Structure 1
Amino acid sequence: MGIDEYLKSTPKLAQLCSQNGWIDNETLSYELMEQGDDQAVVNVTFDEVVMEGSGCVAGRISCYGKMRLTLGDSGQVENSEII
């Protein structure tokens, strides 16, 4: 799967959340910092949506981090790690 699709589906991005909220995929973006034959490094940003106990949105928190992506032969993302 491509980088955008991978980032929108991987649970690893939850490690960057600070309030145990959920990732708003509509705000998810990345910047390619480095790319080699078998890996890429991206800066990732997104809004974490924090909910109240009643189910109402209590707020949004900007989150960011850096990930190393392991790429397969066809350039598809096979694995990742937060760095």
Structure 2
Amino acid sequence: MGIDEYLKSTPKLAQLCSQNGWIDNETLHYELMEQADNHAIVNVTFDEVVMEGSGCVAGRVSCYGKMRLVLNASGQIENSEFM
């Protein structure tokens, strides 16, 4: 699984949401800052979609964070943590 696939499927990114909204995967982007044999450091940005009680979109909040992706011997992502 590549970085893009991992970020779009991991529930950990919800920790960056501040309004209890949901992540708009269309706006999910990352920048690879560092890569080594056993880890990669990425800056992640996305829009959090905030809903009203009626189910209408009330707004969007920009979210961002820095993650350390733990890689196994074959270069696949095993785990991640926020920095």
* TM-score of the pair, normalised by structure 1: 0.97
- Cα shift at 1:2: 0.9
Per the alignment, residue 3 of structure 1 pairs with 3
Per the alignment, residue 50 of structure 2 pairs with 50
CA-atom RMSD in angstroms = 0.6
- Cα shift at 1:49: 0.2
> In the aligned structure 2, how far is the partner of 1:81 from the partner of 1:42?
11
Task: Show CA shifts across 1:24-59 (max 9, x none).
Answer: 000000000011100000000000000000110000
Aligned AA (2:20): N
Q: Which of structure 1's runs of 4+ aligned residues deviate more than 4 A?
A: none
Match of 2:55, SS state, is: coil
> In the aligned structure 1, how far is the partner of 2:77 from the partner of 2:56?
35
Task: Give the number of aligned pairs.
Answer: 83
> In the aligned structure 1, how far is the partner of 2:29 from the partner of 2:20?
20
Per the alignment, residue 39 of structure 2 pairs with 39
